[in-house]
Structures are given as structure tokens and as C-alpha cells.
Amino acid sequence: MNINTCKIWFLAARPKTLPAGIAPVLIGTAMAIEDRVFHAPSAVGALLGAILIQIGTNYANDYFDFVKGTDNSDRLGPARATQQGWVTPRQMMVAAILVFALAFGIGLYLIYRGGVPILIIGLLSILCGVLYTGGPYPLGYLGLGEVFVLIFFGPVAVAGTYYVQAQQMYWAPIVAGLAPGLFSVAILTVNNLRDIEGDRLSGKKTLAVRFGVSFARYEYLLSIILASILVPWWLAAGTGGHCAVLLASFVPLAGIPPIIGVFKRSGPFLNQVLASTGKLLLLYTLLFSIGWVL
């Protein structure tokens, strides 16, 4: 397959998964706008940093999944650059290091704004991005992937984005962060459900492998319901953000097709569900953020 260099690195970045990094920053920024503490340079820095950390994580995953033998010719998901032979393992690892370094460089300004808490968040995010599939005890191979994405693509990202702008913190951004975190869990669940047989053979003990197909399907359903219904109502009960709840209530309706897909289909078809779930996260983010500001 002939493919140009730019397209190789674009595909390796897994653009369909990037909403998971973008969404919490937008939500945290919307909450900062509503509280009149919006700070544009910090918001832009947080967005760029989040995207770069996720791309760096995806590059690291591409490398580690290849060297561990998880990505092979039987893979059902989108093509991986190292597995396809488009780049060497060394090139992929160097790319991951460079992207993480760039993310840290942008993070220096955020550390200047937010101090030690932002330094800790940044370092832990990069470290977990590497340890997700790297190291002797990779999180994704132990069934801890859902915990990682729930925390770091959820409350940590939303609260961190809010804090670096407001330079103070209260409970609402932390609770609001549960929604994008849960949507990210849903995205990961679809990925693991699609790859369940290959992961089982390679020794990657995701929750789908540990507890089976039915568990993964209900994990997906519960993540969507909790994210789009429970979290907004919880926030409304404490803050009065009823407009955000009203707009977010349209998301479960849009979620019906991918939910049906998860329960009725398997294999490569789940790549479409994966993309639809990312769009669902962006839809929730836009509707909730607009409603919160209003």
C-alpha cells in the first residue's frame, strides 16, 4: 500500500479518538466562561497540550502493541503504522518522545499559570500515557484502561482546564468531568469489544477479555446513560444549570444507533460504532457547553 509520510503520521495519531482529549478542555473552558474567569492563552495551551498528550499516547501504544505482538495481521481495527510496516518501531518511539516533549514544552506556560498542581497533572498524564501499554505492568493489559481514561480524560482534564484559567477550584468542574470520562470509557469499551479475540490470544486482559462480551456491552450502555443523564442532572441539582441539562438530554436519543450496534454486531463493524461514539462525545460537549454558558 502506497501512502505518503504526512498521512502515515496522521493515521497513527488516530484522529477518530481525539475527541476524547478535546472534549474535557472545551467543557472546562465553558465553565470558566460562565464563571467569568476565562483566560484565552491558558485555554489554548490546555487544548494543545491535551491533543499532543493523546497523540503521544497513541504513538506509544502503536509501538508497544507491535513489539508485544498484540498488533498483528489478524487485527480488526484501523491499520496501525508500525504493524503495517509504514514506519519502523524506532521511528514510532522517537515520534512519541518528540510529541510528549512538545506537550511538556507547552505545559511550561500552564505550570507558570497554575503551579505545582498543573505540573503534577501534566507529568502523571504523560507517564500514564506511556504506561498504558508500556512497561512491565501496562495498564491496558491489566484491565485498568477504563480507570485511566475515566480519570485523566474526565475530572482531571476538566478540572485542570478550569483551574489553570480560574486559579481556584470548586466541586462542579470535577463532577462535570465525569461525563467526558465516561464517554471515553465507552470509546475504549467498543475498541476492546472489537478486539476481544485478538486480545485474549495475546494475553491482553482487558475487562472485555476478563468478563466477556455481555459485560462489555452493558459497560458501554451504562457509560452512555451515566454520562448523558446522571451527570448533567447531578450538576443541575447543585448549580441550577438546567439549560445544560435540557440540551444534553438530546444526546441519549443520538446514542440509540451506536448502542444497538454494540449489542447486535461485532468485528470490523464496531469501527463505525467507535467513530459514532466519538461524535456522540463531541455532541454532548457542544450541547452541554452551550447550555452551561447560557
Q: Which amino acid is at 38?
A: F
The proportion of the chain whose per-residue pLDDT surpasses 90, expressed as a percent, equals 68
**Regarding predicted confidence, which is higher, 47 or 232?**
47
Question: Quick one: cell of 64?
Answer: 508497544
pLDDT bin (cut points 50, 70, 90) of residue 252 is confident
Q: Which one has a higher pLDDT value, 81 or 94? A: 94
Q: Is the pLDDT of residue 185 over 70?
A: yes
Given a cut of 80, whether residue 162 has pLDDT beyond it is yes
Cell numbers that stand for 29 in this block: 473552558
CA distance 225 to 255: 9
At 212, phi and psi to the nearest 5?
100, 175
Q: What was the pLDDT predicted at 1?
A: 45
pLDDT of residue 77: 66
Which of 227-231, 253-257, 265-269 bottoms out in mean pLDDT, i.e. has the lowest? 265-269
- Could you read off the pLDDT of 97-119 as tens digits, one per residue? 999 999 999 999 999 999 999 99
CB–CB of 3/86 below 8 Å?
yes
Q: What is the pTM of this model?
A: 0.92
Helix axes 270-293, 178-194, angle to 10 degrees: 170
Q: What is the residue-averaged pLDDT of the chain?
A: 91
For the stretch 64-77, pLDDT in tens is 988 887 766 666 66
pLDDT at site 74: 62
Task: Give one word for 212, left, alpha or beta, with left for phi > 0 and alpha for psi -120 to 50.
Answer: left
Instruction: Using the predicted structure, report yes or no on whether residue 236 has a pLDDT greater than 90.
Output: no
Least confident of 16-20, 178-182, 213-217: 16-20
Question: pLDDT at position 4, please?
Answer: 83
> How many CB atoms neighbour CB 10 within 10 A?
14
The number of CA neighbours under 13 Å toward the Cβ of 145 is 26
From 13, 9, 33, select the one nearest 21 (Cα to Cα).
13
With a cut of 60, say whether residue 2 has pLDDT above it: no
pLDDT band of residue 215 (cuts 50, 70, 90) is very high
Residue 269 DSSP SS3? helix
- Could you please state the CATH topology (level 3) that the domain comprising 5-293 is classified under: Farnesyl Diphosphate Synthase (1.10.600)
Share of the chain above pLDDT 70, in %: 97
| Cα dist from 114 to 45, 110, 157, 178, 210, whole Å | 12, 6, 13, 22, 40
* pLDDT tens per residue, range 25-44: 999 999 999 999 999 999 99
Q: Summarize the confidence of residues 137-162 as an average pLDDT.
A: 93
- Report yes or no: 104 and 170 within 8 Å, Cβ to Cβ: no
Pull the grid cell for residue 102. Answer: 512538545
> What is the residue extent of each domain of the chain?
5-293
